Amino acid sequence: MGTYEEKLLVSKEAVKILRKEEPRRVGLGSGTTMEVFVRELSRDPISRKINFVASSRAIRVIAKRLGLSVEDEEGFEPVDMTFDGADEVDDQLNLLKGGGGFLTRERILADSSEKYIILVDHTKVVRQLCTGKPLPVEVVRFGVLNTAKKISRLTNGRVTLRRRSEGVFVTENGNYILDVLLEPLNDPMETYNRLKLTSGVVEVGLFCHLADLVLIGEGKSVKSLSPTRSSPIERV
């Protein structure tokens, strides 16, 4: 079974959670898994009873096109639960985020939510974060080269300014993304704290101790993990 089918499986499981808990306000993260989730959710009547907060314009457009009620991004109230994806998930349920460039908005939603639920396919599960992907860091444009040098010194990592075919990638907040290539992280929280205190840094793509539940698509089944469960994630 491919990753799309696994994303669809975890999306169906997430919809079951919504039916059971009947929240009033739900946050929507970003990325391809969220696109699958929003499309699956729109087919269920429960979606018409919920107000949604989208972390990106792309998800907002898809949700509204499918008939979901999406609140204004500047004035939303605390959220009952947020569903989001991740670029990597380690065996302590820490997350690597920011591959799509929406890490700051996703952080705000996560911090504003009573429950933060992560949907991933099996390829996102790793022993340690930054095993296969760089660490995204959102930074202000002013002094970006100096900020990049400071981050490189702090982390011993190779720092590159994220670009797209049309030029430098700009986040929906008007900032830049620095991608930091690192050795796999032994202590992601310590790395987060050091980088977050660096002037020029807006947000760091390490979401530590935030996930209340992680749903992992594995073939034809879904594995459900929370911080209180003792069963580890199958490591790769």
d(CA 120, CA 181): 22
Task: List b or e across 162-181, with b for residues whose CB sees 16 or more CB atoms inside 10 angstroms.
Answer: beeeeeeeebeeebbbbbbe
N residues, the chain:
236
d(CA 85, CA 34): 7
Residue 77 bears catalytic tag: no
Task: List b or e across 37-72, with b for residues whose CB sees 16 or more CB atoms inside 10 angstroms.
Answer: bbebbbeeebbeebbbbbbbebbbebbeeeebebbe
The tokens describing 158, both together, are 């190779």
d(CA 54, CA 121): 21
DSSP state of 74: S
Closest CA to 198 of 158, 161, 160, 144: 144
State CA 135 to chain mean position distance. 13
Of 35, 40, 88, 106, the catalytic one is 106
Return all residues near 87 (Cβ < 8 A) that are at least 6 apart. Answer: 95, 96, 97, 98, 99, 124, 133, 205
Which residues are tagged catalytic?
A: 106
